[in-house]
Structure 1
């Protein structure tokens, strides 16, 4: 494959032509001077990302209403359009019961006139249930009933992995029930926070008015809502303290909950959710004691105001325009910084993904992922897994003890492609096309029911935490499995029509990136038996940190695109950069093993496929935000960084050691090669 003439080569050629035209007085001296000059470095060996993506970068400027544009961003947008097309088809000519449900749901959301005519009727039964509260003992059953329809109030309750037995899920009782995203908003006294709280109270008043509070009671009832939420916030933990999974983990027997929390009636709550497990996690007993006390001490009218508000707020995006406008003005414009609501179809699609996402995922995979694509993806992923096995065996930095643990863990690693292996129960109340809000409640009740079924022994692998229609490759640390969603198995990432080199260079490298996470600084915390245990020795930790330090230094030297005098934060992006390097190493090994006779053009295609993934353009503002907080390096360095460490890349493009795209051999960083 001939290399294109490079931009860096042209000035030298032009200068030589000018010298000849002007008739230099000492042509022989000029010839000797040129001969001594170092040869020009090709574009591929200078900046492979820009050389590979030049046309794309030129043609794809950032839209006026966005902060970035990227290959993978456009890919995500196309998956949304695919979902839209699927739902349009299901609305017109549904194939089977699930499509009938989805088609009716979609039609009801797109019919804005019907949504306006429906007003607040979808939530009327919930409001009636709340308004029927007469005594403190009526509050807990109302809380349980709202959780059943997917509206968590007072606290959160959801399934998650049992950290002492990773093969099962248990229910987690956690703090929640607040309308603002952090408890600190209720307790800080600075001017900005006080102003935000004032705007929040205005929004509460709007929703209360829409849910039936008389005008002369709005000030009093909004004050009651803020007071109750403030009482909860005072005993809630800052969000930053809850990032560790252990912060929410404290298993307790369910048989004692009814006695310990008599007013909350947590035993009856679990029964209402369909949970019969003998253990739950309740890590903050002080919060739930406070809640229990508030149920018994606050007047029922205060709880009624709070519960009406929470229902109205949760359902506002799916009801008539006054609800939607109120919700967007505060949550959209103030909290999320959005300039305008999304198009109606996107709002409805988001709602369907929220409440009936697994239904849509089932149909999406059937429509867009042929069986042979799935089998090919599984084959490549399996070959990358085999490459990881070879990498573990030859690793110079892993101890023999850690290698044994790693190989045992790799032997048990599962690969799941397309959709989860275990399907759901799709028996759902018929939806019809008359009420979008009503359909939202039907669907969210179904999804809550299916989520509760995750709780119990042997259920941990029943579901994914990502939907099949969402583009994602992920390593599930708790279940030791690679998840490849149906949406991934298409152009840009995996195209079964492309040559093998392209499949390995893009999809294979991303698989390698994720698989490596099971055996790195995070993966070392779960062993082959699925137990939380550090299986590295101190020497392994030291060796990994040494590799990490080299990668930090490498990326610290890269200029952040668009920004002046700003470098990539190598420490912030370290773990992702290490995984990128591991991914390219493993994918190349898998490709070379599967295609030992690959020609020069195929080898180049492998690396071009990797670089193409990361094409992006950023605005100054977006780049500044990412430089401060993004754990991923910018696209240019995600593409180039790992390749500078690959001798096979240098061979494919005739790059010399010391050129920008090839580190000197003695200083090269290697993880699994």
Structure 2
């Protein structure tokens, strides 16, 4: 979408968990703490879930933990929870997303109703008002996108086409964020620290050009073939709604063109290979290595004519796409550009366009029965465009100093625990341990919200121009990223909004970010039992710490540079453990004909195993001087693992689950809950025995860290 907030990818290897007016309090110290911190007293009097932060009613105790721990913890919740009609899935994350949307809606509606509002408050109110103005949008019809369509129709030659591609370039890709791995623009780009020179910004150019999420949607049979038929009909319908002649013939050409691009795309596994992605090209290299596009005109129109070098992530795809631009006639490309211009604009146009956009992208692709309420879409759009302006108000209203202090205490304890796991790693030589320790000691953590807020003063927002607002916001974000080039790296920039329910690791900066919105039940509750909190948000924090040492994070040194800091023997043992974990996940089959891809999900699975193990250790360290008391019959060890499994509650519609398994770097929640089978302490805690489905012999339990 024109205004989506996809641009802030800090690096090619951002690892995502699933992505105030006053300055924030300091982050934990750079050096790993040498003492364990006591948890501050909780302010709330009653836990949100159950008596101590765990929803006992959601359990199915008729299932033995060793047979299916996810169902044991969440079976009744799964049976009794209906996926809302406007969603393709529902999970613990979704409940918090919906709460954050409600909270944000209140902020936006108050700003929209405030006649005296000025500055950013006026902008967020006007943005929301413009999107909610259905009558005005309906009256304008196709008019808001007409100028763009006229410009496309006026293209007279391939040099003009190259300039059109360059002018449409946006900072809109995040390779490891499941929702932003692709772009429908010919190429995707973001600007971040250089993999090889982490003290410099560089533009990353990646493959793009597809209207469906992945090459497999164009090349595979079965369900994918049916989706292609529906996609072609959708393209034809979009042309028809726009009043353009020969929609069916144009749709055939658009699908053929995108299929030609798809055959050139790198696979998801190839894209995840950081070392293969680190290809530095000078601007002059493009003409020699990827002939077929007037690259000089492309970069000039993109505002990059003075940029000396780029990182080209999938060079074969970029070269192949350039050749397709040269080979196919201009008329085909004009139809392609026209379709995507209308498709991107459709959510901001009249009802007929909105409905058709949802019919394919929601119903056909993900199985979602109903379009989300307009106010929910308006909240997402406003977050995309003015997210930190909204975030300032959000943290003032919904994020307490006590929550931040408690979370920072847990971070300190988890870093201590992870450091002890490094020290205890019998498979690792002292030289590699020293480098790992150095990396851990330099880890920075952002909690809740950024120290400095983004300045939106240059963004024009009109109260009667929904599409224009989204387009200007997208261009504003792109130019904000361009302005980084040649400047010092800003290691305080946030790449998630405070109201986002997620967390991330930025290996190029050796930094973690935990937005305010995830620091709520079931992940974290100030009134909950410590064991539940350590199993929940502690596991999440441990997960993000561990991303610094997973299959991608382990390739970066303590400065954020892509550099091998391992001995050859140590890395071989690390890869051996990863291969064993990948094989374990390959055995999970959500459908008889479709299994989890252990290699595609390996980085996240390593982070889950190490994160949960670290959270368990940190809980033990934090409570070492206190008696182990049972709550409702559950021991402290049991409660840690219950807290972990509870956060992975999830249900999917079939189409959505199939898409997730095919394209997402995360395993579905059911299988993330089963991480427990690699943790030794889980077995005695729940009396898991040989012969049960989840039992692994001690030598088969994967413990990378």
Q: Scaled by the length of structure 1, what TM-score is found?
A: 0.76
* Aligned equivalent of 1:30: none
* Aligned equivalent of 2:110: 89
**Is the Cα contact below 8 Å between 1:316 and 1:323 reproduced in 2?**
yes
Q: What per-residue deviation string (whole Å, max 9, x for no partner) do you get for residues 532-583 of structure 1?
A: 23333354346546766887898899x989x99x999989877655544433
| 2:673 paired with 1:641 | no
Matches within 5 A, 1:271-282: 271-275=300-304, 276-282=306-312
Q: Residue 608 of structure 1 is aligned with which of 627, 639, 655?
A: 639
> Which has the larger Rg?
1
SS at structure 1 position matched to 2:189: strand
Change (3 A) 1:586 1:255: same
Matches within 5 A, 1:362-373: 362-373=392-403
* Aligned equivalent of 1:512: 542
Q: Distance in 2 between matches of 1:44 and 1:201?
A: 47
**Is the Cα contact below 8 Å between 1:52 and 1:608 reproduced in 2?**
no
* Aligned equivalent of 1:118: 140
* Aligned equivalent of 2:191: 159
**Is the Cα contact below 8 Å between 1:646 and 1:662 reproduced in 2?**
no
* Aligned equivalent of 1:453: 483
SS at structure 2 position matched to 1:475: strand
SS at structure 1 position matched to 2:625: coil
**Is the Cα contact below 8 Å between 1:585 and 1:672 reproduced in 2?**
no
Matches within 5 A, 1:291-370: 293=326, 298-299=329-330, 303-370=333-400
Change (3 A) 1:197 1:58: closer
**Is the Cα contact below 8 Å between 1:505 and 1:588 reproduced in 2?**
yes
Change (3 A) 1:122 1:666: closer
SS at structure 1 position matched to 2:311: strand
* Aligned equivalent of 2:273: 244
Q: Residue 98 of structure 1 is aligned with which of 107, 120, 133?
A: 120
| 2:508 paired with 1:478 | yes
Q: What per-residue deviation string (whole Å, max 9, x for no partner) do you get for residues 276-296 of structure 1?
A: 4321134246336426635xx
Q: Distance in 2 between matches of 1:314 and 1:334?
A: 17
Which gives a bigger RCO, structure 1 or 2 (Cα 8 Å, sep 6+)? 2
Q: Distance in 1 between matches of 2:620 and 2:482?
A: 46
CA displacement at 1:312 relative to structure 2: 0.9
SS at structure 1 position matched to 2:476: helix
Q: Residue 553 of structure 2 is aligned with which of 507, 523, 538?
A: 523
CA displacement at 1:66 relative to structure 2: 7.0
Q: Residue 100 of structure 2 is aligned with which of 79, 85, 97?
A: 79
* Aligned equivalent of 2:283: 254
* Aligned equivalent of 2:615: 587
Change (3 A) 1:425 1:48: same
Q: Distance in 2 between matches of 1:68 and 1:441?
A: 29
Q: Distance in 1 between matches of 2:477 and 2:401?
A: 27
Q: What per-residue deviation string (whole Å, max 9, x for no partner) do you get for residues 465-508 of structure 1?
A: 44432212222223222221221122221223445444334222
Q: Provide the alpha-carbon RMSD of the alignment.
A: 4.8
CA displacement at 1:405 relative to structure 2: 1.1
* Aligned equivalent of 1:176: 208
Q: Residue 286 of structure 1 is aligned with which of 309, 319, 328?
A: 319
CA displacement at 1:311 relative to structure 2: 0.9
Q: Give structure 2 stretches of 5+ with no counterpart.
A: 1-50, 173-182
Q: Distance in 2 between matches of 1:567 and 1:143?
A: 38
CA displacement at 1:398 relative to structure 2: 1.8
Change (3 A) 1:618 1:314: closer
Q: Distance in 2 between matches of 1:411 and 1:372?
A: 25
Larger relative helix fraction? 1
CA displacement at 1:249 relative to structure 2: 4.1
Q: Distance in 1 between matches of 2:580 and 2:264?
A: 44
* Aligned equivalent of 1:24: none
SS at structure 2 position matched to 1:342: coil
Q: Tell me which moved more, 393-402 or 256-265.
A: 256-265
**Is the Cα contact below 8 Å between 2:129 and 2:463 reproduced in 1?**
yes
Q: Residue 627 of structure 2 is aligned with which of 584, 587, 599?
A: 599
Q: Distance in 1 between matches of 2:231 and 2:73?
A: 49
Change (3 A) 1:258 1:212: farther
CA displacement at 1:361 relative to structure 2: 4.0
**Is the Cα contact below 8 Å between 2:555 and 2:563 reproduced in 1?**
yes
CA displacement at 1:335 relative to structure 2: 3.4
Matches within 5 A, 1:31-46: none
CA displacement at 1:378 relative to structure 2: 2.1
Q: Distance in 1 between matches of 2:160 and 2:125?
A: 38
Change (3 A) 1:322 1:623: closer
SS at structure 1 position matched to 2:460: coil
**Is the Cα contact below 8 Å between 1:392 and 1:672 reproduced in 2?**
no
Change (3 A) 1:659 1:365: farther
Q: What per-residue deviation string (whole Å, max 9, x for no partner) do you get for residues 431-485 of structure 1?
A: 2321222222222222222233344564374645444322122222232222212
**Is the Cα contact below 8 Å between 1:387 and 1:586 reproduced in 2?**
yes
CA displacement at 1:177 relative to structure 2: 2.8
Count matched residues. Answer: 625
**Is the Cα contact below 8 Å between 1:504 and 1:606 reproduced in 2?**
no
Change (3 A) 1:231 1:578: closer
Q: Distance in 1 between matches of 2:503 and 2:469?
A: 31
| 2:441 paired with 1:411 | yes
CA displacement at 1:619 relative to structure 2: 7.7
Q: Give structure 1 stretches of 5+ with no counterpart.
A: 8-40
CA displacement at 1:403 relative to structure 2: 0.8
Q: What per-residue deviation string (whole Å, max 9, x for no partner) do you get for residues 138-157 of structure 1?
A: 33333333336989644333
| 2:160 paired with 1:129 | no
Q: Residue 427 of structure 2 is aligned with which of 371, 388, 397?
A: 397
* Aligned equivalent of 2:522: 492
SS at structure 2 position matched to 1:179: coil
Q: Residue 379 of structure 1 is aligned with which of 409, 414, 434?
A: 409
* Aligned equivalent of 1:427: 457
Change (3 A) 1:139 1:376: same
Change (3 A) 1:95 1:488: farther
**Is the Cα contact below 8 Å between 2:547 and 2:604 reproduced in 1?**
no
**Is the Cα contact below 8 Å between 1:644 and 1:663 reproduced in 2?**
no
Q: Distance in 2 between matches of 1:655 and 1:148?
A: 54
| 2:288 paired with 1:266 | no
**Is the Cα contact below 8 Å between 2:637 and 2:681 reproduced in 1?**
no
CA displacement at 1:407 relative to structure 2: 0.9
